[in-house]
Structure 1
Amino acid sequence: MKRSSADDLARPLPGAAQVSRETRERLDALLALLLRWNARINLVARQAPEEIRQRHIEDSLQLLPLLPEGLTPLADLGSGGGFPGLVLAAAVTRPVHLVESDRRKAAFLQAAVAELGLPHVTVHAVRIETLDLPPVGVLTARALAPLERLLPWAAALLAPEGVALFPKGRQVDQELSDAEAAGWTFSVERFMSNTDPKATILRMSGIHRAGA
């Protein structure tokens, strides 16, 4: 495993996520839609609107400065209530693929894409293992699985120069060690979360498994 710095400490994010008024209006509309749907299906834990905004929308939006430049496609695995993929899609014009096997959650994502006016977003109501996409430049997943499960999907879906963005909690060091012990090699940068002092955002590249 190749570390990006001499020590293994997380660095501050490279600037705050600056978005347009139009994007903020879309995110307000997303929050309102989420609250309506959340009364019927369990998209996120029941919380006050501002708590949901901070814990889910702002938490997702902080990945924006870590995206590579250009219009390379982004795939978000286990999109659920739209975090982080749908939030990022509200702020970018690159093609975005939201992957969610739960049909009810996928229906919410389809409704949100239509209501927010996001023609560059495609919802895939399939299991990740059956997803059929050309290689993507960015892969995201939030609160989906440990790295040992995420990295095989990343290796299969990412283009050679692609990057994976994985928000992680307090078990990040153990997950990195477990992935290395399982034979995975990668370059990794660590960034401090601005919304949760116990969280870290990993930006990973060069992901492959020894002997693969």
Structure 2
Amino acid sequence: MHEPDRPPIPALLTILEHACALKRLPRTGWLLNGVVPCESIADHTTGVALLTLALADALNADWQAQGLERPLDVGRALTLAVLHDLAESRVTDLPKRSTTLIGADVKRCAENEAFSMIVGALPAANDYTSLWREYVEDASPEARLVHDADALEMVHQALLYERAGHRTLDEFWRGHRWHYRLCEQLFDVLRNARS
């Protein structure tokens, strides 16, 4: 932690360094399927954040009809979206096949350690760590929304890559579990656009 009278300059520089790493690191699943060049982790995070914002506003327009007990906290959802892949700046973007081999628990442990190292010296480190765990554990309506936005952004990117001629991306369309009906409807629209 930093002293209250001294700004946390080293901690802020650490965040900048990790943001730059996310801009350089490709999304590995695309590379393994022959998409070169492909989006970076930062590209994906930006898409997830923007989609989270739009989805949260759309869901909040009639939050009771969406089965929510309260309107979504848009600021919280955006923070979760921005933080959701930050650990990948150290762990990298491990594709599904790697996670299957090493196990989800090992991956989660590594990401947890990486996340703590990245944000540990920031004044809001405890808050960020709690939010990141909230996302990982799907522990709030906002976290569930970001999970949906994460999958939808990936599916949309797969559609764009398919339109550019890539034909090996079926795996990105399978196995989704939607938390919100609106997200499921959007997925259906994207899936129908494939044909």
Indicate whether the TM-score tops 0.5. no
Q: Which has the higher strand share?
A: 1
Q: Which has the higher helix share?
A: 2
TM-score, normalised relative to structure 1: 0.32
The structure whose Rg is larger is 2
